[in-house]
Each structure stands twice: as C-alpha cells, then as structure tokens.
Structure 1
Amino acid sequence: MSANGREERVDDYSDVLIIGAGISGIGAAYRLQEKNPHTSYKVLERRARIGGTWDLHRYPGIRSDSDIFTLSYPFEPWTRPENVADGPDIRDYLVQTARKHGIDEHIRFNTHALSADWDSSTDTWTVHTEQDGTPKTYRSRFLFFGTGYYNYDEPYLPDFPGLDEFSGEVVHPQHWPESLDYTGKRIVVIGSGATAVSMIPSLSEKAGHVTMLQRSPTYMLSGPRINPIVQALRKVLPGRAGYWGARIYNTIFTVFIYAFAKAAPKLSRRYIRNYAKRNLPRGYPVDKHFKPRYDPWDQRLCAMLDNDFYDAINTGRLDVVTDRIDHIDPSGVVLRSGQRIDADVLITATGIQLQALGGVLISIDGEEVKPQDRFVYKEHMLEDVPNLAWCVGYINASWTLRADLTARAFAKLISYMDSHGYTHAYPHLGDKPMAEKPAWNINAGYVQRAGHVLPKSGTHRPWNVRHNYVLDAIDHRLDRIEESMVFGRAPVRVAPVA
C-alpha cells in the first residue's frame, strides 16, 4: 500500500525466490511445493543450465566424494548401480528430477543475483539481478540461498613465483577448458585434496606422466564404485525399500567412520597407514607421502575409488612428490629441495575460496548485513535477518543430508507463518551472552584462509552449528518452530500482479 492508501502492485513478484538451481535449490523447490502447493516461487540461476557445482566442475574424473544414495534426494531414489557417481550423471539426475516435478518451469537461467534489500514496511525482499547482462528486479516475501559456500568466479590460487613465465598451459580445475588436450603430456598437479585425488587417475590414463606435488600428505581411503553390500540390499528389498536400505546403510557407515576416527585417532592413523603400505609398491616411502601430521578428520578424508589412485602409482603412471615450490620457470617447477619437475601442463588444484550467500549483498532497510557478524540459527537462518535461509551442507557427510533438513524446515516455517497470518519471522538472540566457536571444526586450508566470511556459531541450541546428521535429524523431528523466533505482520501489504 502506498502513501495515498492504494495497494502497491509489483511486477516479477513471487512468494519465494530461490537463488541457485543446484542440489540445494532443486531440493528446496520440491519441499516448498510439497508443503505449500499454493505458494508461488521462482528459482534464479546464474548459469545457463541446472546443476550448480555439478555443472561448473567439468574436469576429468569429477565425481562425488560421498555416496550417491545420501547425496540424492530421499523423494527421488537413485536408480543406477553406482555407490559413488560421476559428475555428469549427478547433473543428469538433477535435470530429470527438476523436469519430473515441474521445477524446471520456475527457473530463470542466466540470472545473476547481485543484491537483496529487505523492506520492513512491506515485509518484502527486493532482489537486483543481471539477466543476460540486463538489470532486472524481483520481489518476494522469502529468500532461500542454495548458492553453496564457495566463490564460483575466483578459486584459490597462491602466488607461485614465476608462474607467468611457464611456457605450457596453466589450468585450475574449477575453470577446466574443454578444449585442453593433454594426451601424452607431462602433467604436474599442485595439491592433494579431494579434487586432485579424484582427477589424477583419469588424467593418468591419457597423459604421458602425472606428478602430484603436495606440501604435506593427505589421508586417503578407498571405497568401491559399486558396493556389493548396497547391491545386495537393493536386490533383497523391493523397489523403494531397496533405495532406503542403501541410504540407511551408507548413512550409518559414514557416521561410524567419522565417530571412530574422532574417538580413536591413533588407531585410525595406524589403519590408514597400513592400508597404504599394503596397496603401494614394496619399499615405497609411505611415511613421507601418506602419513599426515594431523589426525583423521581434522581435515576431510579423500576418497579413492577401487584403489585407482594407488593403482596409478603401482603402474608407474603417477609419482607423488612432497616438497614446497621455490619457483616456476618456463619448463617446469623448481622445488626448495633443489629438485625440479619438468611439465607441459600445470594444474593448480589449490582449493576454493569461501563465500557467504553466493556473494549477494544483503541489507535491511538500506543497512548492509555482514553475515560474519551474525550468529547462525538452527544451521540455516541468520540472527535478526527476516524471511531468509541459507543452505550449507556437512563437512563429514553428504551435502544433501543437511540440505533436505534445511529445505523442509524452511517450507515448514512458511506454512506456519501463513496459517497464523504472519508476514515476517526472524531468529533473535537478544541480550543473552553467547560464547562463540568455529562454525566448521576442521583445519582445511580454505577454512583457515577465510573463516572471517562465515557466520558465527554459538555453543548451544538453537545457535550451535554442528556436523552431526543423527542429532540434527532428531532435532528436526522435535523442532519447536517458535524457539527464539520473532513473528509479526507488515503494516503495508504488497499484492502481486495477477
């Protein structure tokens, strides 16, 4: 309603705007229309295709580093035999899911959300975007960020002296050029995280030789691409029950591995080291290249498939070098030890940069909101920020386990507000003192470099960010939606154009 008492009419209005059409965004759209079938929504996707991470990353060997049965949606069973799926297959699954449930009709592609401002007089968000390079504005009651937690545009790249002098090709996996032909070439992969471990076996099949250059070792464990236990469950249990059997098995297995590693770190270290020793050539310097200084799950474990990484070493197609870079010259990498590695291609698998809310600038009545200054509420809302949720997955389990809990909680909140006539809701800590702890309790480089961009975690519910799916699932069942929440109604009503 405007100052003269007339009702304000808004173009491109919807009840909910979902930012991102990846796993989080597609899942949020499904749960929203399931719980609130009369609620209007749009999905704003910056890219030209569905998929998010699974559309961005196209390097050889791209795959999930968690099992696909928990990475897939509980409402849309994974039907293929793999227990760990390749990136293109995951993207196809997302496309088919969106099409099956009519979600694709709500997606606006090539739409880059830049800023969002909350208007307390009307209880609406105004989102400024660029659509195919043209400014376009959207309005909504609610915002859901399915943007993940890292910067799609700028991966992390250390300042390697002499990198500009290298005469070959320099590639970061996040921006893999599909035209790159590395057949028969000498490749140096700088980094030893999940990306490097999944990429290298595929690279070694065509490359002349691959060297993985790491500053320090990383924990690696192998799992089967097709798990015989999972396949047996799917064979014995009929239809959807087989999918749920596989999903429950993988959830229990993942929770057990993490709990065991944290409870018995010395035993876990010994097991992983012995596993490496059994699967690498006799006399291989395991302690130099595969014995980290930290305990398992102080950083995320890297997953091999069917020992493919160790097999590449056994066949001589892969060398692992543990050293630091002194400088890069036109023909390769010179190490601090004095050793040099000649290369035709350098792949900088050096990690990601964290980013909150997809880099969208958030403000309330024109005042900027800095996410790092706010506590997280129930792991998906921000302190004193109305009608907004942000989906962030687990560090020790598949992304979708938490994404689905978040999507369901968001849909439940909207249903509750509509049934009570509320137009805004936000979590409020008030004057209560709250101790602070890291939101992510791992020592990964990307967390250590950019912890200042993440919202704060408290130490007790509902402000405690934890990475425990079992406890979160129980809390979700017993959730008190009014806990630490402020509800209200706007003085002005905004009506959409019919």
Structure 2
Amino acid sequence: MNAQPDAGDSVQHVDVLIIGAGLSGIGAASQLTRELPGKSYLVLESRPRMGGTWDLFRYPGVRSDSDMFTLGYRFKPWRGDKALADGAAILDYVRETAAEYGVDSHIRYDRRVVAADWDSEAARWTVTVETEREDVGGGSLKVREHYTCSFLWACSGYYDYDQGYSPSFPGIAEFGGTVVHPQHWPQALDVAGKRVVVIGSGATAVTLVPALAQAGAGRVTMLQRSPTYVLPVPGVDVIGQKLKKVLPEKASYMVTRWKNVAQATLLFQASQRWPGPVRRMIRRLNARMLPEGYPVDTHFKPTYGPWDQRMCLVPDGDLFRAIKQGEASVATGTIETFDETGIRLASGEHLDADLVVTATGLNLLAFGGMTISVDQQPVDLTQTMAYKAMMLSGIPNFAYTIGYTNASWTLKADLVAEYVCRLLAHLDATGARTAVPVRDPEIAEEPFMDFSAGYVLRALDRLPKQGSIEPWKLRQNYVHDVRTIRRGAIDDGVLSLR
C-alpha cells in the first residue's frame, strides 16, 4: 500500500508517532513526556478506547499473569493490594497514568495504521491511517489520513486484536450449545447453572475456570490436550505490604519490584539449569492443594521442562481450590468430535456442555499488520534482524516494544521507553537525523523467539530473526538488559547515526 499522501492532503507532523494506546503505548508516551517534554507526539489507537489488552479482554476473572509490582511502570507505583490484579484495576491504572502525564489529550482513536514509508532524503516517516467518518447520508465512510514523523514507535503489542486463534474442531457445527472465544466475550452471557467446558490450559483457561465456578456455573471442566505448569502464588505480596508501612511509597515500590524481579529470575534460571528439581517442587505444591489421591501426573505433569513455555500463576491456588471443592475438574485428552450435547474425546469419554469456551490462544500479528517500506521499497520483515529486541536492521528511526516471555511485559517496555528517550536526546545533541542498526552478514540467524508456545511457533516464519551474538541476540533477562539497554552506550558501533 502506498504510504505517500495525495496532493492536497492535510498532513500533521510530529517528532514522535506512537502506535497503540495500551500499557506499552501509554508508558512510552508518559516516559517521553517525562524525559523530553519539548518533543511533539501523537498516539494512534485503532480501537475507540485506551487500554489495549486490558480494555479488550472482558471475560470473567480476567487478570494479570505477572505481579503488579513488575507489571506496573517503573516511574509510577502500583498502589493496589493484589499481587495479580484484575483487568479492571489494571485498566484504571493505565488511564490514571495517561491523565497524570497528559497523554490522553494526545491520543487519536479509531485510527488503524496500515502503512509506513521512510523517506531517506527528508529523514521522516509518512504513515497511512484508516479511519471512519460519517457520510452525508448518516452512514460511515472509510477514509485515509496521513501523518509524518521523525521517529516511529510501534507499541501495538504482538497479537491480532480482531481475531483470536481457534483451531478447526471436528463436528463443531453439530453442537447445540454456545461457543465463545475469550477475546470476544459477550457481556450479556449468563453462565449460571450451565455446564461449561473450557478448552485450553494456558493463563486464560486457568483464570476462567475458577471465575466461572464462582459465577455460578453448574460444572466447569478444563479440557486440555496436554498439561501446563501451574504455580500457586500468594494473592497479596505480604512483604510488599509491610514495606509500604515503613518506607516512602516510591522506595517501598522499588524494593518490592526488585525483590520480585529477583524471585522470577531465580525461578527461571533454576528451571533452565535444574529442570528436574523444579518440576518436582511444582508437583509437590500442586499435590498439596489437590484432593487426596488426585491423578496429579495425568493432569498437571507437562511433557516439557519448566519455563520452556510460560508458566501459569494462580493466586492463592484458586484453580486447585475449585477442583478440591468439586466445582471444577480437568480432562486431559484429544477431541474426537463435537456432537449436539458436548464433546467426545478419543478415549471415549464424553463431556456434556451447554457452553464451550475456546481458550485456545492468540494469533501473532507483527506491528499491528502494517506494511513498512523504506524509500518506497517494501521491507520483508523475515529478512531483518532484531537489534536489542527493539529495533530492526535497515529500518531507520523505528522502534518497537515487545515484552519478555519469561517475566513481566512492562519490565521490558520500560527499558525500551528509556532507551528511545536516550536515543532521541543523543540525536538532538549530536545533530544527527537518523539512527539505523546495520546488520553484519557474518552473524548467524536464529528464530525471533526461543519459545515453544504454540502462538509463537505458528508465526515464526513471518517474523524477523535474531542473531547469535549481542546486540542482536535476545537474552530474556531483565538484569542483563538493565546493563545493556538502560546503561549501554548509544553509539556502539552497530547503530549507524548520521
């Protein structure tokens, strides 16, 4: 798609154009306001409201799967009591941050970025946006707008907001009940007294099952093809609460934040180095919270090592409590077919259902699906290499925010925001106009993410590559990135500044 405006188009120019008004985009804009208040910027959001994931997902019990002392911004303390907060509380936190830093007045809603073209001579991006306007007949008319900017920053997340992943299930057309995907939860859906089957075993499924039981569902079954690691954690960070009473707010927040970073890092490193002992520890925790004689190894013993995929955290073991109280159950097996009254498994077991929830995951979508070109030449993302997991080789004045897979998303988002602000300040101080990572053809390519989750594996052939050595290699280590991203030199011999 041609990103150049037609003659006569009114084009608005800003120093920085941020795509996405979710947790990452609001954090990026707030950090830009804090560090470089003289920079002009806009935030383009494809949806009618801010909040991203936390506004989109409305299924029962939606909550964070990282503790809020690390999912919260570094510069703005989380004041809630819950370690794993509900979606509404996180959305309030994002909105409060936007209001506090005046970001809300810089957001343009219902603007989907479809194309961006870099002009090397002018050293600026031209960005094409689709939006809708009311036509003379009272209907809506899809139109294009154009913006230009000196720096383009994609904070649009990593998945398709329009469509979740739903595999093709045999016989599903014969099912006489209701089928919903958590990404499109009907707000009027009444689950009281209904037999519910939740297909999936990830963070969404383990959240939904106890929430649906609490909402009065007659019986809730989590149907999984294979088990996931499920780790019970305290619902309230007791140490964090005590620190609040003896330290100033910012100090207690930072101490608790670093405590939780250390705990998460140690668990991940231990899982990678000593998977057997960690696996046994998690099994003991699970068995302790389940009924006597429960088949733990059938339903809670994954075939892969700890943290080869993202580990599911459940506050105060609510999933296990629902199972122990007889409100929920787990079925592990392969779906043979749907029929009118439910699901028949390959084992012959039949799961009766009035409602089936397909918590089967997400579809990855790089940069919101927009096309990128440099001097009118389309960029093939698969031929680019990620620099510090936030810029791409050969694409000038462009950054993106993608969080960690093994820790809180916002830990990485904060680091990216700090780096971009430092980079922009460096460009101003040196008089340079462009910054572009220059790829060394001798560096070996590796997959963009070394992560075996299904949603990643389904998309790897459409994503950029990472390299075998730094700064092209993604470490998935916050402590390491604090040193290399927050404190590392901007002019490192790899980033071309001119």
SS of 2:459 mapped into structure 1: helix
Determine the C-alpha separation between the residues in 2 that align with 1:256 and 1:230. Answer: 18
The corresponding residue for 1:493 is none
Any conservation in 1 of the 2:181–2:357 contact (CA below 8 Å)?
Answer: yes
The corresponding residue for 1:341 is 351
Shift of 1:405: 0.5
- Superposed CA offset, 1:341-366 (max 9, x none): 11000100001111111111111122
Determine the C-alpha separation between the residues in 2 that align with 1:57 and 1:444. Answer: 20
1:460 aligns with 2:460: no
Shift of 1:106: 0.4
Any conservation in 2 of the 1:439–1:466 contact (CA below 8 Å)?
Answer: no
Shift of 1:131: 2.2
Shift of 1:85: 0.7
Any conservation in 2 of the 1:204–1:312 contact (CA below 8 Å)?
Answer: yes
The corresponding residue for 2:445 is 436
1:278 aligns with 2:323: no
The corresponding residue for 1:5 is none
Determine the C-alpha separation between the residues in 2 that align with 1:371 and 1:173. Answer: 30
- Superposed CA offset, 1:80-136 (max 9, x none): 211111111001100011001101110001111111111122111111112233321
Shift of 1:60: 0.6
Any conservation in 1 of the 2:232–2:285 contact (CA below 8 Å)?
Answer: no
Counterpart of 1:249 (choices 248, 253, 259) is 259
Determine the C-alpha separation between the residues in 1 that align with 2:266 and 2:116. Answer: 41
Any conservation in 1 of the 2:19–2:155 contact (CA below 8 Å)?
Answer: yes
Determine the C-alpha separation between the residues in 2 that align with 1:336 and 1:83. Answer: 39
Determine the C-alpha separation between the residues in 2 that align with 1:58 and 1:362. Answer: 32
The corresponding residue for 1:43 is 43
The corresponding residue for 1:496 is none
Shift of 1:388: 0.4
1:228 aligns with 2:238: yes
Determine the C-alpha separation between the residues in 2 that align with 1:180 and 1:384. Answer: 48
SS of 2:329 mapped into structure 1: strand
The corresponding residue for 2:126 is 126
Counterpart of 1:300 (choices 294, 310, 319) is 310
- Alpha-carbon distance change, 392 to 477 in structure 1, aligned in 2, over 3 angstroms: closer
Determine the C-alpha separation between the residues in 1 that align with 2:231 and 2:497. Answer: 48
Determine the C-alpha separation between the residues in 1 that align with 2:487 and 2:283. Answer: 41
Any conservation in 1 of the 2:165–2:360 contact (CA below 8 Å)?
Answer: yes
Letter of the 2:350 counterpart:
R
Shift of 1:253: 1.1
The corresponding residue for 2:135 is none
Letter of the 1:251 counterpart:
V
Percent identical among aligned pairs is 48
The corresponding residue for 1:495 is none
Any conservation in 1 of the 2:199–2:356 contact (CA below 8 Å)?
Answer: yes
The corresponding residue for 2:163 is 154
Determine the C-alpha separation between the residues in 2 that align with 1:443 and 1:322. Answer: 20
- Superposed CA offset, 1:150-180 (max 9, x none): 1111211111011122111110001111111
What TM-score do you get using the length of structure 2 for normalisation?
0.94
Determine the C-alpha separation between the residues in 2 that align with 1:11 and 1:371. Answer: 27
The corresponding residue for 2:72 is 72
What TM-score do you get using the length of structure 1 for normalisation?
0.94
The corresponding residue for 1:15 is 15
Determine the C-alpha separation between the residues in 2 that align with 1:212 and 1:476. Answer: 41
SS of 2:148 mapped into structure 1: strand
Counterpart of 1:268 (choices 275, 278, 292) is 278
Letter of the 2:157 counterpart:
G
Counterpart of 2:207 (choices 198, 204, 227) is 198
Shift of 1:236: 2.1
Letter of the 1:106 counterpart:
H
- Superposed CA offset, 1:296-341 (max 9, x none): 0011111111110001101111110001001111211011111111
Structure with more relative contact order (C-alpha pairs < 8 Å, separation 6 or more): 1
1:355 aligns with 2:387: no
Determine the C-alpha separation between the residues in 2 that align with 1:415 and 1:180. Answer: 50
SS of 1:417 mapped into structure 2: helix
User: Following TM superposition, where does structure 1 have runs of at least 4 consecutive aligned residues deviating by more than 4 angstroms?
Assistant: none
SS of 1:12 mapped into structure 2: strand
Determine the C-alpha separation between the residues in 1 that align with 2:167 and 2:485. Answer: 41
Q: Structure 2, unaligned stretches of length 5 or more?
A: 1-7, 133-141
Shift of 1:453: 2.2
Aligned length: 480
1:313 aligns with 2:319: no
The corresponding residue for 2:423 is 413
The corresponding residue for 1:3 is none
The corresponding residue for 1:107 is 107
The corresponding residue for 1:479 is 488
- The root-mean-square deviation of aligned C-alpha atoms, in Å, is 1.4
SS of 1:70 mapped into structure 2: helix
Determine the C-alpha separation between the residues in 2 that align with 1:148 and 1:473. Answer: 21
Determine the C-alpha separation between the residues in 1 that align with 2:352 and 2:443. Answer: 54
The corresponding residue for 2:383 is 373
Determine the C-alpha separation between the residues in 2 that align with 1:208 and 1:477. Answer: 51
Counterpart of 2:414 (choices 385, 404, 415) is 404
